[in-house]
């Protein structure tokens, strides 16, 4: 495969705008401003983190769960809203005391425009530390579809491919 | 039965749990000797869950799983049967199957190429004639799980050749397990995918909670209740009506009766499941299971001893795989009635994962509790502290007209005491039958 790298000012500008958007999103999560974070999603958002299994090379087509399979997350706007309200309930013990997280979003690739919006892939590294010394690091890929909205974007689709099969945490009580 | 001298651990197990006092010493959850004894005396004698039939539908379909800490492969045979064997090559012990699941013609070891068939029988040894002369294939087959039981869509295995039949092992717990499995003439099917996550806690906290603990839900899961139930509460100050059941074989369940069925199920798994459970799902359940099980019982949690737990109607099913005294892997999945509509199946799929999984809004807090308990138990003083398991002492009875077995009010711990009584008996009596000979003693003994 050839990795062609073009000198394209319009693309650079688009990359810059998307990067700024994702950095802002990451800051909202790390600053625990969940209602503002939720406002970045389109009303028809589908937010999915499929289950992942260990498979041989010949069987990699079954590595990720499909649309009829269960998933680590499979959310619409209403269910994301429910999760966000759980944070504000005052009894959200799994995140109270809250985790300290840092979301690193990098390796941005713009795959092009579809009917739904701009297809974008990024790599993430999420550091999570909570209570006295519980520390976890999650890496993976986000596949997002961004829809232009009021000079910025809204996230219309998010698919999160976590680089773990057995999940190495006691609860996914935070967002990626 | 056991390969080790567990005398010291047996003496501890005898002392740790006092059923009549309603106490258990915290070392039960952290002592490495106790844990090693559990692997031999509990996990090698009891029936353990392996798979749902629909997770391995076709010949050659396999699933890698664990029985206690023993890695096993569960395989659909060409004749439709199911076999399971230790996931270990007999030559140098390499893990034979390194996939979570898939389709196989046979299993060949990547180390030296010994090949085993779908039943675990050795069928090919590279250079056999030149290098060995002859290897007795039958004798050098993978170690078979000698007992397999298939019960209403579920597959269980047991390492003990002399174990009782699975239905006898269940005893009257089958009455309560069938609410998960037998609500529809079509039976159940597994929704694809198994959630696997790690909780650094002892396996008994999880198993006991699902057997015996409706009590925690009112407080531990307050935040999930707050965002799913209008008004943010489902029980009155008196706790409401419900029952808890305890088995002399260690199984336990608790459930509510009547009021709140639709509201609670809607909160747990969503309004479409709530509707289904009141309408077409209820009609066939009442027809098959009767009025009490089909219509009155709800919000049920259950553990089949030692580590198979589930919530009927919510339909989340899981095994707490022990990984040392201080850690478990949760393997959780959902099932659904096979004749439910596509809409109902989808509602169960998303409703289940949003409520009961590592990300589930009801399940997140369970991990938080068990993790912190286990951390505290690393302290020597915490370890020899007595815990209170005395709720509802002497208030359960065996003559309830509607519910078989030893039954009391839902807010009780007689199912926890039953769980630990069986646990203690298996740890301290290595040669005794898994099913106790004498009747359970607690019922009514100080009523």
For the residues B240-269, what does the mean pLDDT come to?
94
Look at residue A27 and give its three-state secondary structure.
helix
Domain total in chain B: 2
Residue B281: inside a domain: yes
For the residues B355-380, what does the mean pLDDT come to?
96
Domain total in chain A: 1
How far does CA A83 lie from the centroid of its chain?
15
Q: Are residues B218 and B325 in the same domain?
A: yes
CATH of the domain at B65: 2.102.10.10
CA angle B60, B62, B65 (to 5 degrees): 160
In DSSP terms, B386 is beta-bridged to B25
> Pick from B192, B368, B375: which is nearest to A171 by CB?
B368
Interface of A with B in 66-125 (CB under 8 A): 66, 68-75, 79, 82-83, 85-86, 89-95
Q: Is B213 a catalytic residue?
A: yes
Q: Is B221 a catalytic residue?
A: yes
Residue A14 Cα, gap to closest chain B Cα (Å):
33
CATH of the domain at A85: 3.10.450.50
The string of pLDDT tens digits covering residues B53-109 is 999 999 999 999 999 999 999 999 999 999 999 999 999 999 999 999 999 999 999
For A82, the closest chain B residue by CA position comes to B227
Distance CA B318, CA B446 (A): 35
Q: Are residues B72 and B137 in the same domain?
A: yes
Interface contact A167-B196, CB threshold 8 A = yes
- Strand pairing report for B308-311 and B82-86: unpaired
Look at residue B179 and give its three-state secondary structure.
helix
Residue B208: inside a domain: yes
pLDDT at B234: 61
Interface contact A169-B358, CB threshold 8 A = yes
**What are the tokens at A169?**
């945490």
At A4, the pLDDT band (50, 70, 90 cuts) reads confident
How far does CA B135 lie from the centroid of its chain?
39
Hey, which bits of A131-176 come out as E strands?
134-149, 152-162
Residues with Cβ < 8 Å from A163, sequence gap 6 or more?
A138, A139, A140, A141
Interface contact A70-B349, CB threshold 8 A = yes
Q: Is B342 a catalytic residue?
A: no
Interface contact A74-B354, CB threshold 8 A = yes
Q: Is B1 a residue whose pLDDT tops 80?
A: no
Distance CA B429, CA B433 (A): 9
Residues with Cβ < 8 Å from B447, sequence gap 6 or more?
B394, B395, B397
ipTM comes to 0.96
The string of pLDDT tens digits covering residues B139-167 is 999 999 999 999 999 999 999 999 999 99
CA angle B140, B109, B123 (to 5 degrees): 45
Kind plus residue range of the DSSP H or E element containing A128: strand A117-130
Q: CA end-to-end span of chain B, whole Å?
A: 38
Look at residue B23 and give its three-state secondary structure.
strand
CB B119 within 8 A of CB B100: no
Average model confidence (pLDDT) across chain A: 96
Chain B touched by A60 (CB under 8 Å): no
Mutation choice for A interface testing from B206, B364, B373, B376 by most A CBs within 10 A? B364
Chain B touched by A133 (CB under 8 Å): no
Residue B389: inside a domain: yes
For the residues B329-348, what does the mean pLDDT come to?
98
For the residues B179-207, what does the mean pLDDT come to?
98
Contacts of residue B100 in chain A, CB cutoff 8 Å?
A: 53-55, 165
For A59, the closest chain B residue by CA position comes to B102
Residue B414: inside a domain: yes
Residue listed under structure tokens 């000698």: B146
In DSSP terms, A120 is beta-bridged to A110, A144
For the residues B318-335, what does the mean pLDDT come to?
98
Alpha helices in B244-383 (DSSP H): 261-269, 271-278, 280-291, 342-355, 364-376, 380-383
Interface contact A170-B101, CB threshold 8 A = no
Q: Is B366 a catalytic residue?
A: yes
Contacts of residue B54 in chain A, CB cutoff 8 Å?
A: none
In DSSP terms, B388 is beta-bridged to B23
Distance CA B61, CA A70 (A): 19
Q: Are residues B212 and B131 in the same domain?
A: no
> Range of A155's domain?
9-52+70-162
Q: Is B443 a residue whose pLDDT tops 70?
A: no
For residue B182, which phi and psi values (nearest 5 degrees)? -125, 35
pLDDT at B235: 58
Interface contact B352-A79, CB threshold 8 A = no
- Strand pairing report for A41-50 and A152-162: parallel
Distance CA B262, CA B240 (A): 15
> Range of B134's domain?
48-149
Q: Are residues B349 and B400 in the same domain?
A: yes
Contacts of residue A55 in chain B, CB cutoff 8 Å?
A: 99-102
Catalytic residue among B221, B251, B298, B414: B221
Q: Are residues B183 and B141 in the same domain?
A: no
DSSP class of residue B423?
H
Look at residue B196 and give its three-state secondary structure.
strand
Hey, which bits of B175-327 come out as E strands?
188-190, 195-199, 242-246, 252-257, 297-304, 308-311, 316-322
Catalytic residue among B31, B40, B178, B213: B213
Kind plus residue range of the DSSP H or E element containing B161: none
Q: Is B321 a residue whose pLDDT tops 70?
A: yes
The string of pLDDT tens digits covering residues A106-147 is 999 999 998 899 999 999 999 999 999 999 999 999 999 999
**What are the tokens at B116?**
């085993």
- Strand pairing report for B328-337 and B386-388: unpaired
pLDDT at B233: 65
> Pick from B228, B363, B370: which is nearest to A82 by CB?
B228
Residue A29: inside a domain: yes
Q: Are residues B112 and B183 in the same domain?
A: no
Interface contact B224-A86, CB threshold 8 A = yes
Interface contact A134-B199, CB threshold 8 A = no
Q: Are residues B395 and B274 in the same domain?
A: yes
Residue A58: inside a domain: no
Q: Are residues B302 and B407 in the same domain?
A: yes
Q: Is B445 a catalytic residue?
A: no
pLDDT at A161: 98
The string of pLDDT tens digits covering residues A18-58 is 999 999 999 999 999 999 999 999 999 999 999 999 999 99
């Amino acid at each position: 495969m050839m990795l062609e790298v073009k000198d394209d000012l319009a693309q650079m500008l688009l990359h810059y705008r998307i990067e700024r958007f994702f950095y802002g999103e990451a800051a909202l999560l790390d600053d625990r401003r969940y209602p503002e974070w939720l406002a970045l999603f389109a009303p028809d958002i589908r937010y999915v983190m499929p289950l992942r299994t260990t498979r041989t090379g010949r069987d990699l087509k079954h590595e990720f769960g499909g649309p009829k399979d269960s998933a680590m997350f499979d959310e619409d706007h209403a269910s994301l809203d429910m999760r966000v309200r759980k944070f504000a309930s005052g009894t959200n013990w799994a995140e109270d005391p809250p985790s300290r997280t840092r979301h690193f979003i990098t390796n941005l690739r713009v795959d092009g425009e579809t009917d739904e919006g701009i297809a974008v892939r990024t790599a993430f590294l999420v550091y999570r530390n909570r209570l006295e010394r519980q520390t976890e690091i999650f890496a993976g890929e986000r596949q997002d579809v961004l829809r232009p909205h009021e000079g910025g974007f809204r996230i219309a689709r998010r698919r999160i491919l976590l680089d773990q099969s057995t999940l190495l945490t006691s609860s996914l009580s935070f967002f990626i | 039965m056991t390969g080790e001298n567990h005398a010291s651990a047996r003496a501890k197990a005898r002392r740790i749990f006092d059923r009549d006092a309603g106490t258990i010493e915290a070392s039960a959850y952290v002592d490495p000797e106790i844990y090693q004894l559990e692997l031999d005396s509990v996990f090698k004698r009891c029936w353990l869950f392996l798979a749902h039939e629909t997770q391995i539908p076709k010949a050659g379909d396999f699933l890698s799983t664990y029985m206690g800490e023993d890695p096993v492969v569960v395989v659909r045979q060409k004749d439709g049967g199911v076999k399971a064997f230790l996931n270990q090559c007999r030559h140098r012990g390499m893990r034979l199957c390194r996939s979570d699941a898939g389709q196989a013609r046979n299993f060949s070891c990547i180390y030296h190429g010994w090949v085993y068939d779908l039943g675990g029988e050795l069928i090919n040894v590279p250079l056999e004639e030149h290098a060995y002369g002859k290897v007795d294939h039958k004798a050098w087959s993978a170690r078979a799980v000698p007992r397999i039981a298939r019960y209403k869509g579920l597959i269980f295995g047991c390492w003990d050749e002399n174990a009782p039949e699975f239905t006898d092992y269940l005893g009257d717990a089958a009455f309560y397990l069938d609410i998960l499995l037998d609500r529809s003439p079509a039976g159940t099917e597994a929704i694809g995918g198994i959630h696997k996550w790690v909780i650094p806690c002892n396996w008994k906290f999880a198993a006991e909670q699902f057997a015996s603990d409706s009590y925690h839900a009112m407080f531990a899961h307050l935040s999930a209740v707050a965002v799913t139930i209008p008004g943010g509460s489902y029980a009155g100050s008196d706790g409401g009506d419900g029952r808890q059941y305890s088995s002399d074989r260690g199984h336990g369940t608790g459930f509510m009766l009547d009021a709140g069925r639709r509201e609670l199920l809607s909160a747990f798994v969503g309004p479409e499941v709530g509707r289904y459970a009141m309408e077409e799902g209820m009609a066939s359940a009442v027809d098959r299971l009767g009025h009490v099980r089909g219509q009155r019982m709800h919000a049920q949690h259950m553990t089949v001893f030692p580590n198979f737990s589930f919530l009927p109607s919510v339909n989340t099913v899981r095994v707490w795989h022990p990984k040392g005294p201080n850690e478990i892997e949760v393997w959780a999945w959902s099932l659904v009635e096979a004749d439910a509509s596509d809409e109902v199946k989808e509602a169960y799929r998303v409703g289940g994962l949003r409520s009961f999984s590592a990300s589930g809004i009801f399940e997140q807090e369970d991990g938080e509790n068990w993790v912190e308990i286990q951390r505290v138990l690393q302290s020597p003083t915490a370890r020899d502290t007595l815990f209170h398991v005395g709720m509802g002492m002497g208030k359960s009875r065996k003559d309830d007209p509607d519910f078989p077995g030893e039954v009391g009010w839902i807010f009780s711990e007689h199912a926890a005491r039953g769980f630990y009584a069986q646990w203690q008996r298996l740890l301290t009596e290595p040669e005794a039958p898994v099913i106790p000979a004498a009747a359970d003693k607690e019922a009514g003994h100080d009523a």
